[in-house]
């Protein structure tokens, strides 16, 4: 590996240490169905998002609820604080396409129709409202 690639990889790893996230790979639902549920909780406070996911009828909501609980746990472990304060929210959520299983379904007159079984990868970031205010003050050079 070249030194430039190595340096950029190390910088990316350092940046991820200051972010709190959870990742779910190869979920056997289509990305479109998962994005419908992800759009419901984007930018929401964590406790409200857990309630929305718990009472949603979508199949993807159970998986996202478990992922959100994992992200909260990661935040608690890295910051050594409890999440009950209510200042934690879903800062970003990304749903990307995963691998696709290609199958054949029998069709009339000896033909076959292709069936694509899609999967996806979900990355969920959580952050506290206090840390955003502190980072904005540092960037602006002002402090209240």
Delineate the domains of the chain, giving CATH numbers in brackets: 18-140 (3.90.470.10)
Q: pLDDT tens digit string along 70-112?
A: 999 999 998 888 888 768 999 999 999 999 999 999 999 999 9
Q: Is residue 120 within 8 Å of 96, Cβ to Cβ? A: yes
pTM: 0.82
Q: pLDDT tens digit string along 24-56?
A: 999 999 999 999 999 999 999 999 999 999 999
């Amino acid at each position: 590996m070249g030194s430039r690639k190595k340096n950029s990889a190390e910088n990316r790893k350092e940046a991820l240490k200051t972010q709190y996230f959870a990742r779910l790979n190869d979920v056997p639902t289509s990305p479109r169905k998962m994005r419908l549920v992800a759009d419901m909780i984007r930018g929401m406070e964590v406790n409200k998002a857990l309630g929305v996911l718990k009472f949603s009828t979508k199949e993807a909501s159970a998986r996202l609820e478990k992922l959100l609980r994992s992200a909260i746990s990661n935040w608690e472990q890295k910051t050594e604080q409890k999440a009950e304060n209510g200042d934690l929210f879903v800062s970003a959520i990304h749903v990307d396409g995963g691998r696709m299983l290609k199958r054949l379904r029998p069709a009339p007159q000896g033909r076959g129709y292709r069936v694509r079984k899609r999967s996806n990868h979900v990355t969920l970031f959580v952050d506290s409202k206090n840390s955003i205010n502190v980072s904005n003050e540092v960037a602006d050079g002002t402090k209240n």
